[in-house]
Amino acid sequence: MDLSSDAQMASAALPVDRCSIHERRRLLENYVLAARPVVIPDAAEAWPARRRWTPPFFARHYGELTMTIAGRRWSLAEYIAQMQRGPCDPPLPYPFNFDMQQHFPELIADVQPQPRFGRIDRLNHPLMWHSLLRGTRPHELFFGGHGSVFRQLHYDTLFLHGHITQILGDKEFFLYPPEQTPLMYPSAANPKLSVIDDPAAPDPQRFPLFAQARPCRTMLKAGETIFFPAGWWHYTRVHGPCIAYGGIGLTSTNWPDFIRDNLHHRIAGGTPRAKRIALSAYGAIAGAAMNLQESLLRLRETNAAPT
């Protein structure tokens, strides 16, 4: 991004609030239920990852893992070595990310306990059909170098909430609310992706409406977590060597869209009508049961609150 574009965006950007993970009621009501992003400084305070996940750790134990980006094959050890050397021109390719369930299943224990963004945990609820999460990455690991930009302006698949925790380094987030979708130039082929090729330095002739967009902007520091609600467009920029963890969230606020998007994918994939009807019925019944459970918990909280 050139300096003039950066200065213009900084002047137009809104800050992102902060809230402790221990302020559960405020976190739920002011941010999750209100569909507003928030930085949580202490969600990962007990994670073993905060101590174990260092560049030497990954280079030593997982350095042979490879990824091909833009026609070049990188080993994780090679990428980490370059990442630690500091700024390079051009910046390291990004995202350099891995599905933890596939490549690092033994490390998922290092990011526990997971932050919970609802009164119940719908992702692991007994009523949850986990097949509905197929195609997502519930646990994701990101590496990045100074100046790397995730240029794919998007919002997350299946209308899932997202949360990112910085383990090492700083990462800058640019987030746009759903009501700014007309300014995002959604792709006709996939409306969750923008056709803007570089939101950090957009072409004003091709994408004039994007100049009207006003992002929420924040710099996430090591140890901090950001929660961004379903449907919020975002991209990121890395400042220095970076290791980050990404997770997903499912609550009462995005459950209907989550079911609806699953149905859309099944219609596009030719799933028989009877199975789609069953999924729709499941979404209504399971959603109502979970909503009732949350209502009872909310009532219990209210009755237990000091008067």
The CA distance from 219 to 236, in Å, is 10
- At residue 168, the pLDDT reads 97
The CA distance from 228 to 225, in Å, is 10
Q: What is the pTM of this model?
A: 0.92
Q: Write the single-letter amino acid at 175.
A: L
Q: Is the CB of residue 133 less than 8 Å from the CB of residue 259?
A: no
Identify the segments of the chain with pLDDT beneath 50. 1-4, 7
Break the chain into its structural domains and give their ranges: 3-121+137-250
Short-list 284, 239, 238, 235, CA closest to 258: 284
Q: What is the SS3 assignment for 198?
A: coil
- At residue 4, the pLDDT reads 46
The CA distance from 116 to 190, in Å, is 29
The Cβ of residue 72 has, within 10 Å, a number of other Cβ atoms equal to 8
Beta bridge partners of 144: 242
Q: Write the single-letter amino acid at 200.
A: A
Calculate helix-pair angle for 255-268, 273-304, nearest 10 degrees. Answer: 170
The CA distance from 21 to 43, in Å, is 5
- At residue 6, the pLDDT reads 55
Q: What is the SS3 assignment for 13?
A: coil
> Looking at domain 3-121+137-250, does it have CATH number 2.60.120.650?
yes
Question: Prior bond to 229 cis, omega within 30?
Answer: no
Residue whose entry in the numeric block shows the structure tokens 């893992």 = 65
- At residue 226, the pLDDT reads 98
Residue whose entry in the numeric block shows the structure tokens 């009462």 = 252
Q: Is the CB of residue 171 less than 8 Å from the CB of residue 178?
A: no
- At residue 9, the pLDDT reads 55
Beta bridge partners of 233: 176
